[in-house]
Every structure is written in structure tokens, then in C-alpha cells.
Copies of this chain bind each other. A is one copy, B any other.
């Protein structure tokens, strides 16, 4: 079993493969070519790496015409990558000028909203007593989610974890994950409060989104630094 562990570790340890996994944290499926561009390598090389990851059952492929879409084969993989990302050493001496990209402030973490905005929204949910300190949904919270169009009873039926806290690697604070976290992100994207950007995990807030974030979560633009 120790050998199996070494194999998994070696698989994740290669820089190119690490980049693949990092990119896929987005939660979307990517084609081989997209991943080759993201990892700045040749298609042949990417193909070789993807084959290895699929063989180890870390990724799964789905063919659609001449494209092959790669994604995590199971949630556990995303969780493990998240756990690794949490080991990134905390920013040492914050530079005078904030150099971090938008990703730090607003990005997705597998299938839910992370980054500064994810943490801010989660804080707001707790202070509004929609969530308890222990990440349980309150009676008040049940009603609140219904009002914004998310049927929590349906989410409870799902096999996946209903609510779980996810520790963010940049903010080092918990934010909302699980079925509820994913549903919240889906809603925000569907309602066009947020929009995905093309090649990155960054998310942008629309004008409408800014209004709605203020209304529902009492967030001002400055409080999320977008």
C-alpha cells in the first residue's frame, strides 16, 4: 500500500501534471489542447500525461467528436488537490503594492465560490444567521435560500455532502462548499451576477451582480476588492 501511495504522489509531483490538476480545480472539463496551452507544453506531451492520469483513475475522459474532454474522475481528487493547495506557504511579507491577480479575490474552487468573495459571502451568511457557526443551515436559512430560488430540500436528497466548509488557500478562511455551495454558484452564474473568464479560474462580478451582492450579502465593492 505504501507503493500505491508513492505512485499517486509521483503522479501528482510532475510540474506539468500538477498544472493540469490545478487547472481542473476550476470544476470544468478541458480538452487536451486547452490543457497543453495552459501547461505551456506540446500536445504530444500533454497526451502522454493525460493518459497516465486517466490510467490512475484521477481523471476521466469523455469524447465529443474530435475533442476529448478531461475532468476529475471523482470529487476526492479535487479535495486532495485543495488540501495540497492549502500547504502553499502563507504570503510572507506583504509587498507595498498588492500584486495578486484577480484570482485571489474571486475564483472558483472545484464547483463552488472561493477566494475573498467566497469567504465574504460565507461570513455574511453566518452573521445573518442563515448558517450557524458550525455550518448548519438554520430555520431562517431554509427560508432565505427558498427566497433566492434554491430549493434546499432537493439538495438534501443528493448523495453528495449537503454543506461542508472548505478552507481557502489564499484567504486561509473557511467558505461554503458542498451541494449548497455549488447551488449558490450555479445560481449566481445563471442570474448573471457573476461571469466566468475565458482561460482562468477568475470570476468577474457584473454590474447587476454588484447590486445583488450588496442587497443579499451586504457586500460593498470595497469589501470584496473587485
Return the contact of A10 from the options B2, B18, B77 (Cβ within 8 A): B18
Against B, the Cβ 8 Å flags (1 = close, 0 = not) of A22-51 are 100000000000000000000000000000
On whether A58 and B87 interact (CB within 8 A), knowing A9-B12, A12-B9, A18-B10, the answer reads yes
Q: Is the CB of A5 within 8 A of B83?
A: no
Interface residue SS majority, chain A: helix
Distance between Cα atoms of A8 and B76 in the complex (Å): 19
Does B76 contact A80, Cβ atoms closer than 8 Å?
no
Taking the complex as formed, is A207 at the interface, i.e. its CB lies under 8 A from any CB of chain B? no
The tally of residues in A whose CB lies under 8 Å from a CB in B reads: 39
8 shortest interchain CB distances as A-B pairs? A13-B13, A9-B18, A80-B83, A83-B83, A4-B88, A6-B15, A6-B18, A8-B87
| Neighbour of A79 across the interface among B18, B22, B83, B103, CB < 8 A | B83
The smallest C-beta distance from A160 to any residue of chain B, in angstroms, reads: 14
Q: How far is the CA of A6 from the CA of B22 in the complex (A)?
A: 9
16 interchain pairs (CB within 8 A)?
A: A1-B100, A1-B104, A5-B18, A5-B84, A6-B15, A9-B18, A9-B21, A10-B13, A12-B12, A12-B84, A56-B89, A58-B87, A77-B87, A80-B80, A80-B83, A80-B87
